[in-house]
């Protein structure tokens, strides 16, 4: 019998094969209730069952049961179109761990396609997944080229070579990169040591967010260390279907954390935080690393979780601004951190926080989705900007570099003068705006 997704000339290529098989125990939990559909960005945009979580789970199950070819075009297309935003997972009453399914399916496809790729395709993919983001040198070189292009306006020329989208997303690289550093203690006696996860893009594109994070952790009475032997979290490799490489990156970070003697591993990029918290799962089949990975994952915290859980320095100043918060998918859905960032923003005197419609719907960034699925990324980006515009906010606050880049690019295109800030940046601004009561009194007296 011919199976779906095959032709008579092209017999079925593969079902799932070990390792990294999407677990039947996970897809069999789906009761097809459809409660996840209204939270799925691609379903909301297409209103098509196959572009929904339920549809994709059915496809994965069909491959798992040998009814559909792993390399069927439609299957590959749906596994790529999914943002891996995990909104469906957070909405599911049956506890379907959708992330495990999509990431397993992508690993299966990538492995099956590998021998069919040309040498050039293998080299480019290997460079993007295993070199560019995982090694700081290549990314630093790319950042230097972008900086040069921005200064000389050669970035306009880049569009001619098909790099327009990448250039449009690039932030203005006008500050020196953030460097690793040895332990820094706060002004008051430290109550613990935090390791700051540097990440790949953050030190180059958002050095101010890292600097603000260090200051905010100090205000939470934590000493901070950012050792150079940590590295990429592996999220891009997992999303690209290369969990083997992600495992090697995970081991490096586990060793760096153990060596540092830190009490907590602090992350200010939601995508990285979600990946780091899942090291226990990533290394579950490796008996030599399983327990170390679980211990590590249990110590990972988003910076908003850390700051929300402690008493902060009370000397915080006012920020008379109208702001709105964009939930990063990998913070809200993958880590289920929703209230902490909002509670932190509520601590800022005179900040007016207005909720954005669909604040937890993916903005279309999703790692490199913007580059691999530009049309859907653009639709979701425009939807987000329209929702943002409806709030009339002057600043949009988020907690992930991909969201920040996508929002900033959308705002530029729409000609909207709205600032994009990380939660810790806005908190840090509020502390900088503080003036001690005597100074305030003196200032008030001099105005009279």
Q: Which residues bind ligand SF4 (CB under 6 A)?
A: 30-36, 39-42, 53-54, 56-57, 82-88, 91-92, 94, 96, 98
CA-to-CA dists, residue 145 to 115, 166, 265, 268, 408, angstroms: 33, 13, 32, 26, 20
Which strands make up the sheet holding 223-226, listed edge to edge? 181-184, 223-226, 193-196, 264-267, 300-302
CA distance 378 to 167: 15
Q: Are 246 and 238 in contact (CB under 8 A)?
A: yes
The phi-psi region of residue 190 (left if phi > 0; otherwise alpha if psi is between -120 and 50; otherwise beta) is beta
Which of 48, 34, 53 minimizes the C-alpha distance to 105?
53
Q: Min. distance of Cβ 269 from ligand SF4 in angstroms?
A: 19
Which of 323, 319, 303 minimizes the C-alpha distance to 391?
323
Helical (H) or strand (E) element with 419: strand 419-422
* Inter-axis angle of helices 73-81 and 98-113, nearest 10: 130
**116 Cβ contact list (under 8 Å, min separation 6):** none
Q: What angle do CA 45, 49, 51 make, to 5 degrees?
A: 50
* Continuous H helices in 261-393: 270-277, 279-282, 290-299, 303-309, 329-332, 339-346, 369-372, 374-389
The phi-psi region of residue 193 (left if phi > 0; otherwise alpha if psi is between -120 and 50; otherwise beta) is beta
Segments of 122-276 assigned E as strands: 181-184, 193-196, 223-226, 264-267
Q: What is the DSSP string of 50-94?
A: GGSHHHHHHHHHHHHTTSB-TT-HHHHHHHHH-----HHHHH-TT
CA distance 43 to 54: 10
The DSSP letter of residue 369 is H
């Amino acid at each position: 019998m011919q199976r779906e997704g095959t032709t008579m000339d092209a017999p079925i290529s593969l079902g799932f094969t070990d390792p990294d098989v999407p677990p039947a125990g996970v897809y069999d939990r789906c009761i097809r209730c459809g409660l996840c559909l209204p939270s799925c960005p691609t379903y909301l945009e297409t209103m098509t069952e196959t572009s929904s979580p339920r549809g994709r789970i059915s496809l994965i199950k069909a491959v798992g049961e040998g009814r559909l070819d792993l390399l069927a075009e439609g299957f590959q297309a749906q596994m790529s179109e999914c943002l891996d935003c995990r909104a469906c997972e957070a909405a599911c009453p049956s506890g379907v761990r959708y992330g495990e399914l999509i990431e397993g399916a992508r690993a299966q496809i990538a492995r099956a396609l590998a021998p069919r790729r040309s040498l050039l395709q293998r080299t480019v993919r290997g460079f993007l997944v295993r070199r560019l983001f995982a090694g700081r040198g290549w990314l630093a070189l790319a950042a230097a080229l972008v900086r040069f292009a921005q200064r000389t306006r050669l970035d306009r020329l880049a569009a001619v070579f098909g790099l327009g989208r990448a250039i449009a997303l690039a932030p203005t690289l006008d500050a020196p990169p953030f460097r690793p550093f040895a332990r820094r203690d706060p002004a008051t006696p430290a109550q613990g040591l935090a390791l700051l996860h540097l990440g790949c893009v953050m030190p180059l594109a958002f050095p101010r967010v890292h600097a603000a994070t260090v200051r905010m952790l100090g205000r939470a009475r934590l000493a901070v260390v950012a050792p150079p032997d940590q590295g990429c979290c592996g999220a891009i490799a997992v999303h690209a279907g290369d969990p083997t490489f992600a495992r090697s990156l995970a081991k490096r970070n586990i060793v760096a954390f153990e060596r540092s003697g830190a009490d907590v591993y602090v992350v200010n990029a939601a995508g990285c935080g979600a990946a780091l918290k899942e090291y226990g799962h990533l290394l579950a089949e490796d008996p030599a690393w399983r327990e170390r990975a679980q211990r590590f994952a249990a110590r990972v915290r988003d910076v908003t979780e850390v700051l929300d859980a402690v008493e902060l320095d009370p000397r915080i100043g006012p920020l008379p601004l109208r702001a709105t918060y964009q939930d990063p998918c990998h913070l809200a859905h993958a880590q289920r951190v929703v209230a902490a960032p909002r509670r932190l923003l509520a601590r800022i005197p005179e900040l007016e926080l207005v909720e954005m419609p669909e604040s937890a719907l993916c903005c279309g960034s999703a790692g490199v989705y913007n580059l691999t699925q530009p049309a859907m990324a653009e639709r979701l980006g425009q939807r987000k900007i329209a929702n943002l515009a409806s709030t009339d906010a002057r600043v949009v606050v988020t907690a992930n570099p991909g969201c920040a880049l996508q929002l900033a690019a959308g705002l530029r295109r729409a000609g909207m003068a709205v600032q994009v800030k990380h939660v810790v940046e806005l908190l840090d601004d509020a502390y900088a705006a503080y003036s001690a009561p005597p100074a305030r009194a003196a200032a008030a007296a001099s105005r009279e």
